[in-house]
């Protein structure tokens, strides 16, 4: 545990949510993935963001020290609980950062309660197909971070998100799968292995989100080329 982080819990009806907090500034809520080993501590590599933001990092329902029901609630329930948590803590608006399934939860919050979301950062995020159709109306600045060779959340998924969120920017990091030191069982764990790059990207994007959401025209052919290359490799 990071020594300077404060860990508390909040009761929300049938659920108790454990969460860590640290830092000052605009509120940033960070959401972990769906692997049962995950809890708020997966975000420790990015805790340096507490210099710029007030971090609130929950254990989602069914994880860590939050309530563990017989069945883990789906992303829709997680989103509702998270929104209730925000209301209980007096958080009127926040930046949502999600990795893997946590990104899917963040998207659901932004779709249903857009007034409570300032912007989003999605790291190798999963999503439900019905969400894609609803994302076009979301209109929240979104930074999408992907690995070029992600075998779990493949690169074309990142472009589908980018194309569905009209106010988004995608940043594709280099290949990492060939490095045997990377834990490849849960996406790429980019928040751990690419922490310095991610911290830099997040700080830069959030410094002026509205100016960062459009891809530079000269990059479009290159980005589309990467997506087409991966799709062809899948089909072959």
pLDDT in tens, 1-40: 445 799 999 999 999 999 999 999 999 999 999 988 899 9
Reported pTM: 0.87
Task: At 39, list the tokens.
Answer: 């809890």
Q: What is the DSSP letter of 32?
A: -
Tens digits of per-residue pLDDT, 66-110? 999 999 999 999 999 999 999 999 999 999 999 999 999 999 999
pLDDT at 54 over 60: yes
**SS3 for 137?**
coil
Domain boundaries, the chain: 6-235
Scanning 122-219, the segments in alpha helix (DSSP H) are 129-135, 155-164, 190-193, 195-207, 209-212
Chain centroid, CA 86 distance in Å: 17
Query: How do beta strands 6-12 and 15-22 pair?
Result: antiparallel
Average pLDDT of span 39-53? 95
Tens digits of per-residue pLDDT, 192-220? 888 999 999 999 999 999 888 865 444 45
Output the pLDDT for position 191: 84
Output the pLDDT for position 223: 52
Q: pLDDT tier at 221 (50, 70, 90 boundaries)?
A: low
Q: pLDDT tier at 183 (50, 70, 90 boundaries)?
A: low
Dihedral sign, CA of 219, 221, 222, 225? Answer: positive
Tens digits of per-residue pLDDT, 126-179? 999 999 989 988 999 999 999 888 777 788 999 999 999 989 999 999 877 665
The CATH class of the 6-235 domain is alpha beta
Output the pLDDT for position 96: 98
Bigger pLDDT: 219 or 55? 55
Task: At 178, list the tokens.
Answer: 């060939």
**Strand (E) or helix (H) holding 18:** strand 15-22
């Amino acid at each position: 545990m990071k020594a300077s982080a404060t860990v508390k819990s909040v009761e929300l009806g049938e659920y108790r949510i454990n969460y860590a907090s640290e830092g000052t500034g605009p509120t940033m809520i960070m959401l972990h993935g769906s692997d049962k080993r995950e809890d708020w501590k997966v975000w420790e590599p990015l805790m340096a963001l507490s210099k710029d933001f007030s971090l609130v990092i929950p254990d989602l329902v069914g994880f860590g020290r939050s309530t563990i029901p017989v069945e883990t609630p789906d992303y829709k329930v997680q989103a509702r609980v998270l929104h209730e948590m925000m209301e209980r803590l007096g958080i009127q608006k926040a930046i949502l950062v999600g990795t893997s399934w946590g990104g899917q939860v963040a998207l659901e919050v932004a779709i249903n309660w857009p007034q409570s979301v300032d912007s989003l950062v999605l790291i190798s995020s999963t999503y439900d197909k019905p969400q894609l159709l609803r994302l076009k109306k979301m209109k929240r600045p979104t930074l999408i971070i992907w690995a070029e060779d992600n075998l779990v959340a493949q690169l074309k998924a990142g472009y589908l998100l980018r194309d569905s969120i009209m106010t988004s920017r995608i940043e594709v990091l280099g290949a990492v799968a060939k490095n045997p030191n990377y834990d490849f069982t849960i996406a790429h764990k980019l928040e751990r292995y690419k922490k310095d790059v991610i911290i830099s990207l997040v700080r830069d994007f959030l410094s002026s989100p509205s100016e960062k959401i459009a891809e530079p025209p000269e990059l479009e052919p290159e980005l589309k080329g990467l997506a087409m290359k991966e799709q062809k490799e899948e089909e072959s």
